[in-house]
Amino acid sequence: MKLSFALILNNKYITNNEKVFEILNNYNFNLLELPTTDQYNYVLTIGKPNSNVNTCFFDYFEGLGNDFLTLGNKQSKILNALWCLLTDYLAYYDCKDAWEFCDTYGYEQTIENHKIYYACGENAEKLRKLFTLDDLEFLAENINL
């Protein structure tokens, strides 16, 4: 699924809308719902056609109390998921290790919280396989949901 130009152009939280669309238009996106008993989890897929990089899969938790995924809101949820990945990407690369990550973002120094840092790192590496560093930095600076 290609993200619509109208979704990006009309979003007040996206700056440099045309350039953001130009970058994202090179990719196919999909958001798949994986219902569980106590929460709604999704998998965001991002693929670049005509590339030797396979589609990457990203787990995404939207939180309780949000609208269910429908065809009508799918594109905006994809954009939200992408924004979350971009913020995690920045958080991972802004910190030198799990200890600094926990200190910076207010987590206690526990094994579970260190796992959050490493999960951000796994997703950051997937993003770096798909996007150029310039495109990632541009998207992270211009999508601020």
Q: Which pTM was predicted?
A: 0.87
pLDDT tens-place string over residues 30-84: 998 876 655 547 889 999 887 777 789 998 887 777 777 788 889 999 999 999 9
Which domain does 67 fall in, by range? 5-142
Task: Please count the structural domains in the chain.
Answer: 1
| Angle between helices 98-105 and 74-94 in degrees, nearest 10 | 120
pLDDT in tens, 131-145: 999 999 999 999 998
Sign of CA dihedral 78, 84, 90, 95: negative
Token couple for 55: 């589609």
